[in-house]
């Protein structure tokens, strides 16, 4: 049970670090409100999806290499298999960002 608690704390810590890196964008307010609620309710996958959805919005800048790396780490930690990371990479590549 202790390993599981440590795992969830690690995921929460990574999510909070990712949240902090996105809080500079004024347009994230609604997304961050949802994110905070999901974290409070221990819906960590939904919290990650919410931040990813924000980054995938057409009006949002492509993610930095650091943000993209954090999202990929979180997907691996949470064993999530979706197209989010690849779609974010594609967006970054189209804008001349990280590959």
Would 26 be classed as within a structural domain? yes
**Per the structure, how many domains does the chain have?**
1
Q: Is the pLDDT of residue 98 over 70?
A: no
- Tell whether 43 is covered by a domain: yes
Band of residue 41 on the pLDDT scale cut at 50, 70, 90? very high
Mean pLDDT of the chain, nearest integer: 87
Q: Please give the share of the chain, as a percent, with pLDDT higher than 70.
A: 96
- pTM for the model stands at 0.85
Cβ of 66: how many Cβ atoms within 10 Å?
12
Indicate whether 99 belongs to any domain. no
Question: Taking the alpha carbons of 67, 32, 50, 47 in that order, is the dihedral positive or negative?
Answer: positive
Answer whether residue 92 shows pLDDT above 80.
Answer: yes
Domain of residue 65: give its range. Answer: 2-94
Q: Is residue 19 part of a domain?
A: yes
In the predicted structure, residue 56 carries a pLDDT above the cut 80: yes
Q: How many CB atoms lie within 10 A of CB 84?
A: 20
- Which of 30, 79, 73 lies closest to 53, judged by CA? 30
What would the mean pLDDT of 38-63 be, rounded to a whole number?
91
């Amino acid at each position: 049970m202790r390993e599981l608690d440590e795992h969830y704390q690690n995921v929460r810590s990574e999510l909070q670090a990712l949240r902090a890196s996105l809080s500079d964008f004024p347009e994230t307010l609604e997304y961050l409100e949802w994110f905070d609620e999901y974290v409070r309710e221990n819906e960590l996958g939904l919290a990650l999806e919410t931040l990813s959805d924000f980054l995938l919005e057409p009006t949002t800048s492509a993610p930095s290499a650091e943000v993209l790396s954090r999202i990929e780490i979180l997907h691996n930690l949470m064993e999530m298999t979706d197209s989010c990371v690849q779609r974010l990479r594609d967006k970054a590549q189209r804008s001349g960002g990280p590959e």
